[in-house]
A and B are shown apart, each in its own frame.
Chain A
Amino acid sequence: MERSTLSSAPKPPGRPLLAILVGGQSNQGARKALWGYLFIAPWLIGLLVFVAGPILASLYLSLTTYDILSAPRWVGLDNYRRAFFEDPLFWPSLGRTFYYAFVVVPLGLAGSLLLAQLLNQGLRATNLFRTAFFLPSLTPGVALSVLWLWLLNPKLGLANQILRPFGLGDFPWLTDSNTVIPSLILITLLTTTGGGSMLIFLAGLQGVPKELEEAATVDGAGRWMKFRHVTLPMITPTLFFNLVLGIIGALQAFTVAFVATNGGPDYGSWFIALHIYQQAFAYLRLGYGATLAWIFLVIVLLLTLVNFAFSRRWVFYRGGS
C-alpha cells in the first residue's frame, strides 16, 4: 500500500503538492483522495460536533460551575476536589457500579457462551430456542423495568408468590438496599444473556474448524478437555470482544435502576450514571456533572487499556498478531 507519509521511500519524481497534502501519488490520485474526504465529510462533521467537540467541551465545563442560565464560572480543580473528598455519594456510587459490573460481566459472558454452546449442538428446533433466548433482549429497557418491578413486587409479585411455600415469601428484592443490586444483576442476566453476545459467541463457535475438534477426539480428549484446550482458545477473540464491550456497557448501567428504583432504596442502586444525570439535569450542576463524567471516562478508558494490555497474554488470533 502506498503510504504518503513514509519519507524514507523514494519519492516519485515531481509528486504534486496536492498529492502530498491529501494523499495519492499523482494529480489523479490526489483527486481521488479528495473524493474520499468528501464522502467521509458528514462523519468528520458529526465526529467533531457531536463526539470529539463535546468531550473536549466537557473537560472545560468540568473546571467551571455552570447552570446554563448564566455563563460558566471558572473554578479550577474545585469540582474534582469536591468529587474526591466531599461528595458523600461519589465513591459509593462508583463502588456500586463496579460491584454490579464485575458480577454481571463474568456471569453474563459465561451464560452467553453456555447458551451459544447449547445452540451449537445441532439440536432440532435450534432456531426456535435461539429466538426464545433472544426475545428478552429486544424488549425496551423501560418495559423491562416496569415488568420486573411487578414480578419482584415483595407483596404482590409472582416471584414471592412462588417462593412463599418455601418460606421465602418476604424476600425484599428491589425494595431493600442490600438486595437491590443482586436483584438488578438477576434482571440483567435474565434479559441480556441471550442477546447480541450470545449470537456473537455462536458465530465464533461455528468458526472453529471441525478438524481440530476431531483431531482432539482422536487423541482421546474428553468433552471438557476439548472445550478447554481447543474450542476456548479458538474463540478468545470473540470472548475478548464481548468482554470489552460488556464491561463498558455494564459500567454505564442506567435505565433499569433509574426507572425501577430511581437509585434507591436508600441510594442502594445509585450508580455513577445516575449520579451524573442527577447532578447535571436535576440540580442543573452542569459543571460538576461534567467533572463526574470525565472521571468516569478516565476510569472506563483505563479499564479498557488494561483489558487490551492483558489480552496479549490470552487472546489468540489465527494467522498471527
Chain B
Amino acid sequence: MATTADPTFTTALGRPTRLGVWRLRRLNILYVVTVALAVVFVFPMFWAVMSALKTPSEMYAFPPVVIPSSPRPYNFVEAFTDFPFARWYQNTLEVAILATLGTVLSSCLVAYGFARFNFRFKNLLFMLTLATMMLPSQVSLIPRYVLFHDLGWIDTLNPLIIPPWFGGSAFAIFLMRQFILTLPRELDEAALIDGASYPRILWDVLVPLCKPALATLAILTLIANWDSFLDPVVFLQSPAHFTVAIGIWYFKQQEFQVTPTDQLLMASAVTSMIPPILLFFAFQRYFVQGIVLTGLKE
C-alpha cells in the first residue's frame, strides 16, 4: 500500500530510493510551477500599488520604473480631493452595510421556513428560487428601472438598499437553508416542548448556531455589494450619489481632459481593492467554507 512513510520511497537507511528521488524532483517542479503561477496572479495588483505611488514622469518612463524612487502617497490625497471619493465611500458603505443587514436577516427567516416547515408548493417554490440563480440579471433590469422610476427611487440609494430586505437573494437563502439543515431537529423540538414559539426557536436556538454561516453570508454579500457595477450604473445618475465603483468609472471618463492622471486613477483603484482584501484576510476561513458550501450537492 502506498502510504506516506513507506519502503517504496525510503530505504531502510532513510535514503530515498530511485522512485523516491523521482518523487522529490517532481515535488520541486510542482513548487516552481505553483510559485510562478502565484506571481502571475499577484503581480498585476503589485503593479497597481506601485503605479499608485509614482510621479507622472515615473509613470510614463522607459524602461519602466518598478519601484518608485520616492513613493508618493500624496497621490491618494490628490485623487480624493480631485473627486468626491469621500462621499462615494460613504455611499458605498451605506449601501453595503444596509444591503448586507437586509440580506442576512431576511434570508435567515426564509431559509428557516424552507428548512423546517412543510407546506404546499414548498418544493416548487424552492426549485423556483434556485432557478432564479440561473437568470441573467439583464432581463429584470429594465422593468426594475421602470418600477424604481415610478417610486421616485432613481438617483437614490434605495434600489440598492431596499430589495435585499426581501429575502436577499436565492444564493443567500440556499446557503442559509443548507446550513440550517445540518442542525439537528431535536434542538427545535426540545425548545418547542419548552413552550418556545417558532420565531423564538429561530432567534434563540438556531441563529446562535448559524453564526459561521451568517458570517460567511455577510462577508460574501458585503464584497458583492462593494464590487457591484451594473445596478448602480443604471440606477444612479448624479455624482453626489455614486458608489466607489461608479465613481472610478466616472473618473476614468474625465481623464486626460486636463493633465495625465493615470497614477491618480491607479490610486483610486487601489483604495477600492483594499476593503474586500481586508475582509478576506480577516475572515478567510468563513469565506472559503461559504463558497465551498454552495458548490456542493444538497
Contacts and interface: CB of A to CB of B under 8 A. Distances in A.
B191 interface: no
B105 to A, nearest CB: 9
A293 B292 CA distance: 31
Nearest to B144: A54
Contacts of B118: 1-2, 23-24, 29, 32-33, 36
Given A36-B118, A142-B245, A156-B60, A129 B38 contact: yes
Given A50-B144, A218-B2, 10 more contacts: A40-B113, A121-B30, A132-B41, A132-B42, A140-B226, A142-B246, A190-B41, A238-B296, A248-B134, A252-B138
B88 to A, nearest CB: 11
B63 A161 contact: yes
A5 B121 CA distance: 9
A276 interface: yes
A26 to B, nearest CB: 12
A237 B295 CA distance: 9
Contact of A50 (B59, B140, B149): B140
Interface string A239-257: 0011011001001101100
Contacts of B296: 203, 207, 238
Contacts of B109: 39-40, 42
14 contacts: A29-B118, A46-B106, A134-B280, A136-B42, A139-B273, A140-B229, A143-B272, A146-B248, A146-B252, A203-B292, A203-B295, A290-B142, A297-B136, A300-B135
A106 interface: no
B223 to A, nearest CB: 7
A151 B244 CA distance: 21
B15 interface: no
B51 interface: yes
Nearest to A119: B34
Interface in A96-153: 115, 118, 121, 123, 128-136, 138-143, 145-151
Interface stretch (B67-75, B161-169, B210-218): B161-169
Contacts of A133: 37-38, 41
B288 A199 contact: yes
A147 B262 CA distance: 10
A230 interface: no
Nearest to B147: A54
B266 interface: yes
A217 B44 contact: no
Q: Contact residue range for chain A? A: 35 or more
A50 B198 CA distance: 28
B20 interface: no
Interface string A179-219: 00000000000100010100110111001000000100110
B122 interface: yes
B245 A43 contact: no
Contact of B117 (A36, A145, A196, A252): A36
Max chain A C-beta neighbours (<10 A), residue from B128, B139, B262: B139
A141 B229 contact: yes
A45 B273 contact: no
B246 to A, nearest CB: 8
A294 interface: yes
A135 B45 contact: yes
Contacts of B137: 252
B291 interface: yes
B77 interface: no
A174 interface: no
B284 A200 contact: no
A58 B272 contact: no
Given A21-B120, A136-B45, A150 B166 contact: no
Contacts of B39: 132
A255 B230 contact: yes
Contacts of B120: 4-5, 21-23, 33
Nearest to A138: B276
A9 B129 CA distance: 28
5 smallest CB-CB distances across A and B, nearest first, come from A46-B166, A36-B117, A39-B113, A43-B167, A200-B295
Given A135-B277, A148-B44, A286-B142, A39 B34 contact: no
Given A38-B113, A255-B229, A139 B143 contact: no
Nearest to A115: B37
Contact of B234 (A34, A40, A277): A277
B1 A142 contact: no
Contacts of A289: 142
A204 B163 CA distance: 33
B291 A140 contact: no
A95 interface: no
Nearest to A2: B118
A47 B132 contact: yes
Given A46-B163, A143-B269, A204-B295, A40 B132 contact: no
B265 interface: yes
Contacts of B233: 258
A118 to B, nearest CB: 5
Interface string B216-241: 00000001001101100110000000
A37 B229 contact: no
Contacts of B266: 146-147, 150
A281 B280 CA distance: 34
A317 to B, nearest CB: 7
A140 B47 CA distance: 16
Nearest to A24: B118
A23 B122 contact: yes
Contact of B248 (A35, A55, A143): A143
